[in-house]
Amino acid sequence: MLGYDRIVEAGNEIKGKIHRTPLFHSTTFSNMFSCDLYFKMENFQKTGSFKSRGALAKFSRLTDEQKKHGVITASAGNHAQGVAFAASYYDVDAKIVMPETTPPAKVNAVQSYGGTVILRGTSYDEAHEYAIQISVEEHREFIEAYNDEDIIAGQGTIGLEIREDIDPDIVIVPIGGGGLISGISSALKLSGKGLKVIGVESEKANSMELSIKENRIVPYTSNDTIADGIAVKYPGNITFELVKKYVDDIVTVSDENIAYALFKLLEREKVLVEPSGAAGLATLFENKIDVKGKKVVIILSGGNVNFLLLSNIIYRALEMEDKLLRLEFNLPDHPG
């Protein structure tokens, strides 16, 4: 199982290649929730999310032979950009298989880092299957999104940075496949700190919560969520074991409160995050975690938001606060 020394090594491997993101203290939200609240600003990270950490840690361990043949992965979001960025840094040829339904902005972002995009299938699973096929045919190294100890160690460097800055009571982390929370919880718990690490999922994509409850890997019950960055059908076997060992609790939040948390971050702190990145703050709006009087760190995991979705979120939040009123009515459609 992943050790503390491996996370420290990952920190040394990626030092100078990524941003050491700030730990931002929020007076506004501290007062709102009667706690001492900090945000770890991974939305300011290179490529716009924490994924570049794990990708760089993985690439630093590739052999010359693996680099020669190139790499491949499947992703429709932040992992794709992280891999393309790391491949560019190490001058390795990278192919990224993305579903045909991927928004052009995400495709353009990957291409801007030098990755070759292949559009295949109508879902992530179909894209993943095709990427595995190419990895075998072309002898390319397949880069996992989360179920890989090097990737997890890279994400765990966030925990090291938090530990260097403050001594928190609670750290709240979004969960998708589990790579981020596995790395952070390992770094924090193995360093001997007496704190709680709490994971958060969308209530519509809660595969890790269900898996922990049943003590076996099971899929989510739905996938109809705005938090697409954490909508992962199955957790990995490695991340599942690490979460069982080091994570104190997992809670779920509604899409409505994820959207509201995103809006309040933008309104009050002028900070833009994607829905997945706002999931941690949404737990406080739902009163899912007792933070009163505690020193709390929330991971803002990414800032790559779809702007069409953002406009809808803003309108919906204004409705929730009675600052916008919509009138709907039926009107006969006939001449005159």
For residues 78 and 48, the answer to whether their CB atoms sit within 8 Å is yes
The catalytic position among 26, 40, 46, 51 is: 51
CATH architecture of 51-142: 3-Layer(aba) Sandwich (3.40)
pTM (2 d.p.): 0.93
Q: What is the pLDDT of residues 249-264, one digit of tens each?
A: 999 999 999 999 999 9
Q: Which of 185, 202, 211, 301 is catalytic?
A: 301
Mean pLDDT in residue range 194-211: 95
pLDDT in tens, 126-173: 889 999 999 999 999 999 999 999 999 999 999 999 999 999 999 999
Q: Is 51 annotated as catalytic?
A: yes
Domains 4-45+149-319 and 51-142 share a fold: yes
Backbone dihedral angles phi then psi of residue 274, each to the nearest 5 degrees: -80, 165
Strand partners, 9: none
CB contact at 8 A, 207 and 234: yes
| Residue 301 designated active-site | yes
- The full set of domain ranges for the chain reads 4-45+149-319, 51-142
Closest to 280 measured CA to CA, from 118, 144, 171: 171
CB distance 229 to 75 below 8 Å: no
- Identify the pLDDT of residue 332: 86
CATH of 4-45+149-319, one of 3.40.50.1100, 3.40.50.12280, 3.40.640.10, 3.40.50.300: 3.40.50.1100
Using one digit for the tens of pLDDT, what is the confidence trace for 36-55? Answer: 999 999 999 999 999 999 99
pLDDT of residue 85 exceeding 90, the answer is yes
Distance, in Å, from the CA atom of 105 to the CA atom of 322, rounded to the nearest integer, reads 33
Instruction: Describe the crossing of helices 179-190 and 149-165 by its angle, rounded to 10 degrees.
Output: 50
DSSP-derived pairing of the beta strands 36-41 and 23-25: antiparallel
